[in-house]
Structure 1
Amino acid sequence: MSLLAARALSKTYHSRALLGPARARSALSDASLSIAEGETLALLGRSGCGKSTLARLLSGLEAPSTGEVLFEGTALPDLDRTARARMRAAVQMVFQDSPSATNPRFTVGRIIAEPLRHLTPLDRTGRRARVAELLEQVELPPEMAAMRPSQLSGGQLQRVCIARALAPRPRLVILDEAVSNLDIHLQASALALLRRLRRETGMAFLFVTHDLRLVRRFADRVLVMDEGRIVEEAASGRLETLMHPASVRLRTAILPPFPPPREVEDRARNVG
């Protein structure tokens, strides 16, 4: 039995206009997937293809228009209070925009402790100890607990958001473009941290991204999305087998680290 699964999920958004009828926009259509314990699954696709919508549905932040999300084999609406609380602790999410995902008036310690207040029985002393443990786990100094988001770099704040997601000891973390806003060095550092956490804790990850390079480094299995649908699947070690036009566009969008020799020669000739 999978940890989390989706069956034929669809999502339609309706917008109301001042004049004329409401407009419907389909963001997701008939999407199905499953995530096993300890697995890292990548959801790959260009911006606007429905990846983030699917991530929000899987986390329970939004309800599907049709279809269902299942936690340990049970549809989310059918979970009793105990199972729902277990699901909320077991499935955590890290968003792309860390400044918008944190309260600028809260200290780092309070930001990380927020899920501990609602999803664990820890008292204030226990929460303080857990926050210190989490800061160490994401390689941030303990004195950072007293700082506010505006005092941190982008990479540090994203690590705070990862620490917050780890706080209730989840079994699955959904990373919604969580490293896309970081430069290449911070991306490498964040991925190294996530790989270490996966190795140490055995948790599963759903890695939502548009960057094929990041998929190669982190995922076990890849699903490609296009126009609200899952169109292709492959193991991350066999990305060359992805042949759907959406996959080909993503692959060709990757720039080489250096220009090819002929291009270098042409530039030198033009300069001369």
Structure 2
Amino acid sequence: MSLISADNIVKIYQSHSLVGASARKTVLHDISLSIRQGETVALLGRSGCGKSTLARLLVGLERPTSGEVRFRGVPLTKLDRSGMKAFRREVQLIFQDSPGAVNARSSVRAIIGEPLRHLTSLDETRREERIQELLRLVELPPEIADRLPAQVSGGQLQRICIARALAVNPKLIILDEAVSNLDIHLQASALALLTKLQQEGGIAYLFVTHDLRLVQKFAARCLVMDEGQIVEEIKTADLDSMKHPASRLLREAVLPPLPVRAVETN
């Protein structure tokens, strides 16, 4: 059974002008996908193709216009209050904009502890133990817990967001361009950490990105989105054989390795 699936998802936004006219925009067209426990699936597409909208639907932040999102075979619309709370423990989202995803006035301790306060029954002592455990897990020093977001580096803040997502032991983490704002070295470090955590805990990832280079390093299977549709599904090992025009454009957009500089001799 799939861990999470989307069945024939359609999402339409309707806007109204000041003169009363309305406009409908279909952002997602008949999307279906599934993710199994412990696997990493990439959702690859250019900006504006609908992939972030799909991510929000999968975590229950928005509802589809038609179609259903299912978790362990159960439609999200059928979950009662306790069922939805359990779902929010099991499925977490990490955003691209780490500074925008945290309260600038909250300490790192409060940021990581937020899901523990709302989604668990741990008392204050056990919450602190869990926070320290999570900091060790993402390889951050314990004293960072007392700092504010402005007092840590970009790479550290992204690890703090990863720690927050891991706090309640999720089965699926959706990474919405979560490493796109990091430099190449921090990207490699973050992906290595996520891979290690997956090997240790069996977490599944949906890796939402526009960067085929990152897909090659991190995912086993790739879904290509274009104009609100999944236009191709392919194993990462076969990315050189992508056929859809949108897929080929994404492949051609990958920058080649830097050339070796010629050494001038006299």
TM bin (shorter chain): over 0.9
Structure 1: state its 5+ residue gaps.
none
Match of 2:136 in 1: 136
| SS of 1:24 mapped into structure 2 | strand
Determine if the alignment matches structure 1 residue 48 to structure 2 residue 48: yes
Cα shift at 1:20? 4.4
The equivalences for 1:193-232 within 5 A come to: 193-232=193-232
In 1: Cα distance, 2:181 partner to 2:232 partner: 26
Counterpart amino acid of residue 89 in structure 2: A
Cα shift at 1:236: 0.8
> SS where residue 233 of structure 1 aligns?
strand
Q: Give CA-to-partner distance per residue, 1:60-117, whole Å, 9 cap, x none.
A: 0110111100011010010133322211100000000011100001000000000001
Distance across 2 between alignment mates of 1:159 and 1:19? 47
Counterpart residue number, 1:57: 57
Aligned counterparts of 1:241 and 1:127: Cα–Cα separation in 2: 48
Post-superposition CA distance 1:112-169 (Å, at most 9, x none): 0000011111111111110001011111111010000111111111111110000000
Cα displacement (A) at 1:27: 1.2
Aligned to 2:158: 158
| 2:256 alignment partner, SS class | coil
Runs of 4+ residues deviating >3 angstroms: none
Aligned mates of 1:170, 1:58 — CA distance in 2: 14
How far 1:258 sits from its partner (Å)? 2.8
| C-alpha RMSD over aligned residues | 1.4
TM-score by length of 2: 0.96
1:248 — aligned with what? 248
Q: State percent identity of aligned pairs.
A: 62
Partner of 2:125: 125
Q: Any idea what the Cα deviations from partners look like across 1:7-46, whole Å, max 9, x if unmatched? A: 0111111222223412222111100000101111100000
Equivalent position of 1:77 in the other structure: 77
Paired amino acid for 1:8: N
CA distance in 2, matches of 1:16, 1:137: 48
Aligned to 1:100: 100
Paired amino acid for 2:172: L
Is 1:39 the counterpart of 2:56? The answer is: no
Match of 1:24 in 2: 24
Aligned length: 263
User: TM-score, structure 1 length as denominator?
Assistant: 0.94
